[in-house]
Amino acid sequence: MITALVPGSFDPPTKGHLDVVERCAALFDEVIVSVVHNPSKSPLFTADERIALLEECTRGWDNVRVASFQGLLVDFAREVGATTMVKGLRAVTDFEFEIQMSQMNRHLSGDVVSLFVATKPEYAYLSSSLVKEVARLGGSVDALVPEPVAAALKERLV
Ligand code: PNS
């Protein structure tokens, strides 16, 4: 039984994130979308709101659940009995930071294996930060985020 974590900020979740989750749902027995809750940051959506959005968007996949964590990801992984963590890669620029994080996680816990999924090319330019900027400035994000997220952005940014 392999449980894979898909960790992230998900502020908000995008279609790029869900593409990675969908890939993982097909590959692993169980997938835990792991939402970081960092009290020193002020995200647009609270951890509970991000969890609710992700739960709504992943309802179709029986082996996917959503949870939040505080502190080190490797500690959360140990708590839930997972050693596999998966991140999406959009471009080489992502790789530089992602490999640094994966090496640090490996240093912190020798059990942990980081895997990377290449995102769909059509989502290669997509990021939560740009989605928020476009939404804030009145642009349409309908093609970039799932419907519940688009609705939540409209409500939050009016
Ligand atoms: O969506 P993001 O912002 O790329 O996700 C980054 C995340 C949440 C995976 C990363 O910041 C993280 O693992 N945070 C938990 C703190 C931690 O474990 N830090 C040390 C590992 S580098």
Residue 37 domain-assigned (yes or no):
yes
CB neighbourhood size of 2 (10 A): 12
Is 116 a domain residue?
A: yes
Active-site residue, selected from the candidate residues 41, 42, 59, 140: 41
Q: Which atom of ligand 1 lies closest to the CA of 98?
A: 4
CA nearest 30: which of 67, 70, 82?
Answer: 82
Digit-coded pLDDT (tens) for 49-87: 999 999 999 999 999 999 999 999 999 999 999 999 999
pTM beyond 0.95: yes
Residue 14 lies in a domain: yes
Domain hosting residue 114, numbered range: 3-124
| Count of domains forming the chain | 1
CB of 105 closer than 6 A to ligand 1?
yes
- Summarised one tens digit per residue, pLDDT across range 94-124 is 999 999 999 999 999 999 999 999 999 999 9
Instruction: Please give the helix or strand (H or E) that residue 21 lies within, else none.
Output: helix 15-27
Q: Calculate how far, in angstroms, residue 9's C-alpha sits from the geometric centre of ligand 1.
A: 8
Give the mean pLDDT of 146-153.
Answer: 98
Residue 63's CATH number: 3.40.50.620
**Residue carrying structure tokens 């991000």:** 50
Residue 34 placed within a domain: yes
Active site annotation includes 120? no
| 157 inside domain | no
